[in-house]
């Protein structure tokens, strides 16, 4: 394998991690980083496969919505939007709970 040129900004990060004792050497740091990245990619692949399997199972059960026509499309996207707002509010509440709630949340729009 040929030597890899590491950009200066990444080299500084790696050198700092080694200096702080998070790795014994540049090689050890890079080895750990590559292994962690590979595991992350594999986890992403597993999540995608699980989502595909779940979707196919739903199709086989007939658990899906047919969207035909402008009114059905509008209604569908309103539901998606509402669900997204609820999930976002839940995530914000969780984040606020985890960090002690000592910050203000940015809002958009009038008010």
Reported as a single tens digit per residue, the pLDDT across 32-77 is: 999 999 999 999 999 999 999 999 999 999 998 888 999 999 999 9
Higher-confidence position of 110 and 7? 7
Using an 8 Å Cβ cutoff, are 74 and 67 in contact?
A: no
DSSP H/E element including 88 = helix 70-98
Look over the chain and give the mean of its residue pLDDT values, rounded to a whole number.
87
Q: Report d(CA 23, CA 29) in Å as an integer.
A: 5
Find all residues with CB under 8 Å of 64, minimum gap 6, and list them. Answer: 58
At 13 the pLDDT is 94
Confidence band (pLDDT; 50, 70, 90) for 109?
very low
Question: Domain spans of the chain?
Answer: 7-64, 65-97
Cα 10 to Cα 7, 26, 80, 93: the distances in Å are 6, 11, 40, 34
Q: Which residue has the higher pLDDT, 67 or 103?
A: 67
């Amino acid at each position: 394998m040929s030597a890899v040129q590491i950009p200066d900004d990444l080299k500084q990060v790696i050198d700092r991690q080694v200096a702080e004792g998070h790795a014994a050497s540049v090689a050890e740091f890079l080895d750990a980083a590559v292994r962690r990245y590979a595991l992350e990619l594999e986890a992403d692949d597993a999540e995608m496969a699980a989502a595909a399997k779940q979707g196919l199972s739903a199709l086989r059960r007939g658990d899906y919505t047919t969207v035909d026509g402008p009114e059905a499309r509008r209604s569908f996207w309103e539901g998606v939007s509402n669900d997204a707002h609820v999930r976002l509010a839940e995530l914000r509440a969780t984040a606020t709970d985890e960090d002690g709630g000592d910050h203000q949340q940015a809002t958009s729009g009038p008010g």
